[in-house]
Structure formats: C-alpha cells, structure tokens
Amino acid sequence: MTATTDGAGAMARGADPEHQEGTAGTAAPAPAAPRDAAAGPPGAGAGPDGSPRGVRGVQEATDKAVRALLERQDPAGWWKGDLETNVTMDAEDLLLRQFLGIRDEATTRAAALFIRGEQREDGTWATFHGGPPELSATIEAYVALRLAGDEPGSPHMARASAWIRAHGGIAGARVFTRIWLALFGWWNWDHLPELPPELVFLPPWVPLNIYDFGCWARQTIVPLTVVSALRPVRPAPFALDELHTDARNPFPARPAAPLASWEGAFQRMDKALHLYRRFAPGRLRKAAMTAAGRWIVERQENDGCWGGIQPPAVYSVIALHLLGYDLGHPVMRAGLESLDRFAVWREDGARMIEACQSPVWDTCLAAIALADAGVRPDHPALVKAADWMLGEEIRRSGDWAVRRPGLEPGGWAFEFHNDNYPDIDDTAEVVLALRRIHHPEPAKVEAAIARGVSWNLGMQSKNGAWGAFDADNTSPFPNRLPFCDFGEVIDPPSADVTAHVVEMLAFEGKAADPRTRRGVAWLLAEQEPDGSWFGRWGTNYVYGTGSVVPALTAAGIAPSHPAVRRAVAWLESVQNEDGGWGEDQRSYQDRSWAGKGASTASQTAWALMALLSAGERDGKAVERGLAYLVGTQRPDGTWDEPYFTGTGFPWDFSINYHLYRQVFPLTALGRYLHGEPFGPDGPRTPGAHRPAGAS
C-alpha cells in the first residue's frame, strides 16, 4: 500500500495543520540544473556519462534524486516522510477511543483495514518488516480486530489466537499490553506492577525519581501513575477467553526471581508497593494525584500533544479524563485533536498511526543532502528550509534544565511542537544544515547557531559524550523495575549522537576544544573489537559506524588511524554480494547479526559516507556500493525500502523513516561527486566544488 502523499506534503493528514499551506510540491523550486562532465573533486577524472573515475550513472542518479527531493518539499519549507512503526499504535488508538466512548465506525473500519493488511500467513504480527512474530503486538492487533467486528472463528483470527495461546497467552504479554487489557477487565490490576503517583514528589537526587527516566519514559510514566492508582475498568464488549492458555486460571503467578538478584529485589519492592497501596495516606495520595495532573497539563504542547509523540499523549489523555477532565475541556479537546494528526490515510482507505512525526529531523537531513549534492547554497529551497528551521528554534527551558539549571536554552526538537524536549541530535544536525546554506540574513543564522552550539556543549555528560535529550541520564535502576519491560527507559550517551555533535563542533572550528577532544576520546574507547560502533538510534552497527567515522575524520583523526582502518575493514567485510549494505533489527539481540541483512539504500549510504570520509573513494567497496545505489534507484529518482532502519528502543521499537531512503543515498552520492564536507584544510565552503552552470 502506498500513502497518498507518503507524508511529504500538506495533503498528508498526519501533517500539522499550522504548517499546511497547500499541496506538497505545488510550489517547489526548480531543481538544480545538470552539472557538466567536470563535476567532482579537483583532479577527479570523468567517465563517459560525466561520473568521476568511471563509476557509471552516479551523476544522473544524483540529479534525479535532487529533483525528487525538491519536489517533496512543503511550500512552508519543511520535509516530512511517514514514520512507520507497528500495529500496536493503531490498536491502542482504537482501544483509547473505546475507553473514552468515542470510537466511530469509519475510523474503526480504516484502522482494521491497515491492521489486517499487516498480518502474516501464520496469523501473527511483527514489529518490523520481515521480523519474527511478536506476542504483544499480535494480542493487541487481535483485540483491535475484535473491536472492528472480526469473529474469533474466522480463519485469520483463529490462526492468531492459536499462535497466541501456543506462546504464553495474555499472561506472557508485556506490561503495557496487560494494562490496556486491564482497562476493560480482560486482565486483573492486582497482577500488574504497582506504580504509585507519589513518585512525582521524589527530588532529583533520590534514586528512581521521574528525572532518572528518559524523557519519553518520564512522559509516559507520570500519567500511568494516575491510571495505576485509580485502576479504572470499562465494561468489555466481549470476552477474551480464547487468548488464555488456561481460561480457568487466567492470571498465573510469575516465578519469583532469586532474592540475591536485582530482579528479585525489585520484585519484592513491587510487593511492598502493592502493600503500600492499601495503607497509603489518603491526603498524600490525593496530593500526589493533583501534582501528577498538574505536571501533565504543564507539559502539554501548543498543538495539544505531549512530547510530540503518541504514547505519552494517549496515556495523558486517559489520566486527565480519570482526574475529571471531560472530553469538551480545552486540554482534552486539544489532546484528542493532536492524536488525529498522527493518522496517515492511504489510497485504499486504510489508516496508519504514526508514533510521532519527524519534520525537523527530515528537513535538516534533506538540506544537508541537497547541499552536499551540489545544489547552490542560496537555492530558494534551501533558504526556505533555513527559514523554517530558524522558526523552530526552542528558546525556553524544559525538563533538561533539571540537570543543567544554569544553561541558556537554544536548540531544536524532532517534531513540529515539542518545546519541553529539544534534542541534542537534531540540534547538531540543524547546525550542520544551516552552515551549508547562504541565507540573506546571516546575522540571524549566526545567532541561532551560536545558541545551538552553546546548548549542545552544555548538555555534555560527565563521561565526555552526549545522550539524546538529557545529560547524565544513566541511572542503573529504572530499567530494572518490573514495570519497565516496554523498551529502553533511560537516555545514556550513545556513539551516534556523540558523533553528530563532534562533527558539528569540528565544522564550527572547535575540533581542538577540550570538550570536543573528550568526545573524540570517548568514541575511540567505544569502538567494538571488530571495528564497528553500536548504533542507538539507527540500525545498528552500520549506522553507528557510518556516524562515527565521518565525525572522527572531521575532528582531525587521520584516515590512517588504526580505529579508522578497523572500521573500514569491518565495513568491507560485511558488504553484501549485491554491493549494498544491510543490517537486521535482530542485531540488537544477537551480535551475530551485526552488519547482516538485506541491502537497503539508507544503510548502503551510511557505509559509503564512512568509507568516503576514510579516504576510500577509489576503493572497490565504494565502487560496488555506488553501483548498488545507481542500480536500485527507481525511475522517479527515489529508492524503495520496506526494511526498518531506524530505532526507537533497540529491538523493542523499530522505525521505518520513509525519507531515509532518499536523503542518505543522495548525501552519499553527493559526497562522492563533490568531496567530503571536511577537506584537508578544514570545512569546505558550501557549493565550492559545484561546477559552472549548476543551479
């Protein structure tokens, strides 16, 4: 199925209405004119088609990709591809509507059409393309289809329920799935971990305070403390006996872990919290609930959402409704309207729910790709993108200031609206994008860049590296809670984010700054024995390595450095027979999958970007990788990529960013044609290698 706009323009119903100014592409600037045969770094020989050094088709592929990307720009200046995850988003959206009493036939029919389309032959659902069956996703999808009227005895439902029973039934599902079922009496609240709202009173220096959790988990856990305390049950429209392994004993006790283990200690702490629930002082509990409600309302964004992501928004709406906010209240109305904007409607009438939206991330990556491909730095499309990015700068403090109270704000978030949580990765990439653009108001750009650089430097963690949203968010305790089985709940520094910050600082002339050198030292120490780096926010070792090597060379690490040579050797060793690179999400669970998987355009581009920065431009691996990109490009200048190469939580939550397949191949092709952003004399001037006549 194809989306009506693939999230690219204002026709996509997932787009923020404040940014909808017309159909995508209707006002797109003209693409760059084809370059002449002399394109390429100084001294590069040209092949018969104008591609340097005999790699056929690179120039033509680049020109087609530039045109395709320019056509996708929204008239307001931004780009946004669909952000595809898994059917739990769609199932939980229907369950929310059922809980609130607002589920309608049209929405249900469209959601069910999408969910059915994602079911596999064995009756199951996976959490990424080609992945193994996943129990919780299959349970939630099954329940959603029951809401849509699919009968348990129909073949596709019978296959699903048989598989669920064979793999542990509802009792084997993750905590979040059982919470959704408890809302309708399909699971017993007594058999769920306790999460007291009094957590909001713990000061930041006490272990397990809410700021020990990553921002995405914090925004989810606070409203869930309200839900957990009130334990609501709405009448279920049907029973789910067919999903229990033993309907006579639907709530089997889970085995106790050894007392001497961390798991055993936290299990016993959970038992103590269940006991506390019975004797919690009424006034304290009421005060905690009020404080939690206030915390939630204070963090609602201007567009009505929470954190710009669907899960916290869903649980915040439920919590506030339980606290007495009726559906007509402005806070609730705005919240529900924000959830509607996560819907992407497809041509066949199906409705897919995005977990979040990525316009800032997509826009800065698109601007970098176009600039590196030789589009002139004052091109109207790039200037418009810069204007939009400048308008998205966040100038007020958020939760990050709990750990960095004296730091002046200045940065960018991932989404249209998320002022409480700018992120370090987006800020670094936006700065790199703005530096490539010649804007008519340079002083305005310089001031925004200066604030972004200062904020990123201030968010450096004690170990010299950078996390995504917070500094020093490294407590070992949150991940051990029985409640937290839904994915990563802390935000420690990662190699990919640290690499992007180091690259940005080098571009800003701060390669010799002691803070940059600490980041470089951390990256060198984090290299895996095989020469790769772990990728936290992209899949996986190919992403980590593709991020780190360009950062190291930008910061002055020579291509001959042993760390760079090990990385090159590893990338060459995992290149596929077809010339591309690919890596399956299973590498997060099983190290033997590192660098292994079907070739994809985005992962091939990451590998090429690393190899090019390491001085391998004339190498056989680069030649084969370029040939893969040229050979798999579609006539319209795009690439197809069903595989999930993005990461929300390693293994637990995977993402297919629909624009990755476009921006990263274009960046790699452009850097092959025009050289690296960092030459031997430092950062190159945007467009410096652009041949005469290029627009």
How far, in Å, CA of 74 to CA of 23, rounded? 7
How far, in Å, CA of 107 to CA of 93, rounded? 10
The 10 Å CB-count burial string (b at 16+, else e) for 215-251 is bbbbbbbbbbbbbbbeeeeeeeeeebebbbbeeeebe
Q: Where are the beta strands (DSSP E) in 21-62?
A: none
How far, in Å, CA of 613 to CA of 605, rounded? 12
How far, in Å, CA of 554 to CA of 158, rounded? 56
Burial of 600 (0-12, 13-18, 19+ CB in 10 A): buried
pLDDT in tens, 97-140: 999 999 999 999 999 999 999 999 999 999 999 999 999 999 99
In the numeric block, the tokens 């709530």 are attached to 251
Closest CA to 400 of 360, 456, 341: 456
Whether 425 is a known active-site residue: answer: yes
- Residue 485 pLDDT level (bands cut at 50, 70, 90): confident
Cα–Cα separations (whole angstroms), residue 457 to 348, 515, 613:
47, 8, 24
CB-CB contact of 523 with 552 (8 Å): yes
Question: Percent of the chain having pLDDT more than 70?
Answer: 90
Helices and strands in the chain: count of H runs, count of E runs: 22, 7
Structure tokens at 97: 């509507």
Number of residues that this document lists for the chain: 695
pLDDT at 681: 54
Does 20 have pLDDT greater than 70? no
How far, in Å, CA of 322 to CA of 312, rounded? 15
Closest CA to 316 of 340, 330, 337, 295: 295
Q: What is the mean pLDDT of residues 46-67?
A: 77
CB-CB contact of 412 with 360 (8 Å): yes
Kindly state the helix (H) or strand (E) to which residue 353 belongs, with its residue range. Answer: strand 351-353
Domains, in order of start, for the chain: 17-83+359-397+406-465+495-683 (1.50.10.20), 86-353 (1.50.10.20)
Closest CA to 604 of 621, 625, 632, 583: 625
Over its C-alpha atoms, the chain yields an Rg (Å, rounded) of 25
In the numeric block, the tokens 């729910």 are attached to 353
**Strands of 653-657's sheet in order across:** 83-84, 653-657, 646-649
How far, in Å, CA of 550 to CA of 586, rounded? 25
- Please name the amino acid found at residue 434: L
Cα–Cα separations (whole angstroms), residue 503 to 425, 429, 431, 449, 637:
11, 9, 10, 14, 29
Structure tokens at 194: 């306790």
Q: Which of 473-487, 558-572, 590-604 has the lowest mean pLDDT?
A: 473-487
How far, in Å, CA of 512 to CA of 556, rounded? 9
Dihedral angle sign, alpha carbons of residues 386, 387, 391, 392:
negative
Does 7 have pLDDT greater than 50? no
Helix axes 541-554, 562-573, angle to 10 degrees: 150
CB-CB contact of 58 with 673 (8 Å): yes
CB-CB contact of 555 with 502 (8 Å): yes
Q: Which of 31-40, 51-60, 416-425, 503-512 has the lowest mean pLDDT?
A: 31-40
Closest CA to 559 of 682, 429, 680, 683: 680
Dihedral angle sign, alpha carbons of residues 383, 384, 387, 389:
negative
Structure tokens at 79: 């780009």
- Please name the amino acid found at residue 403: R
Measure CA 66 to chain center.
Answer: 24
- Please name the amino acid found at residue 323: L
pLDDT at 167: 97
**234 vs 53 pLDDT, higher one:** 234
Does 405 have pLDDT greater than 90? yes
pLDDT in tens, 158-204: 999 999 999 999 999 999 999 999 999 999 999 999 999 999 999 99
In the numeric block, the tokens 């490539």 are attached to 436
pLDDT at 130: 95
pLDDT in tens, 517-562: 999 999 999 999 999 999 999 999 999 999 999 999 999 999 999 9
How far, in Å, CA of 123 to CA of 142, rounded? 9
Structure tokens at 571: 């990338």
pLDDT in tens, 261-303: 777 787 788 788 888 899 999 999 999 999 999 999 999 999 9
Catalytic residue chosen out of the listed positions 212, 425, 491, 584 = 425
Q: What angle do CA 313, 318, 323 make, to 5 degrees?
A: 120
- Please name the amino acid found at residue 299: R
Burial of 511 (0-12, 13-18, 19+ CB in 10 A): buried
SS (HEC) of 279-296: HCCHHHHHHHHHHHHHHH
How far, in Å, CA of 47 to CA of 435, rounded? 31
How far, in Å, CA of 190 to CA of 81, rounded? 42
Does 613 have pLDDT greater than 50? yes
Closest CA to 61 of 35, 26, 25, 29: 35
Strands 351-353 and 83-84 come out as unpaired
Measure CA 232 to chain center.
Answer: 31
The 10 Å CB-count burial string (b at 16+, else e) for 613-628 is bbebbeeebbbbbbbb
pLDDT in tens, 128-169: 999 999 999 999 999 999 999 999 999 999 999 999 999 999
pLDDT at 54: 55
Burial of 512 (0-12, 13-18, 19+ CB in 10 A): exposed
As a whole number, the mean pLDDT across the chain is: 90
Within 8 A by CB and 6+ apart from 525, the residues are none
**25 vs 567 pLDDT, higher one:** 567
- The DSSP code for 90 is H
**Any bridge partners for residue 491, and if so which?**
473
How far, in Å, CA of 162 to CA of 168, rounded? 10
How far, in Å, CA of 170 to CA of 180, rounded? 11
Q: What is the mean pLDDT of residues 560-571?
A: 98
How far, in Å, CA of 270 to CA of 267, rounded? 5
CB-CB contact of 306 with 313 (8 Å): yes
pLDDT in tens, 429-470: 999 999 999 999 999 999 999 999 999 999 999 999 999 999
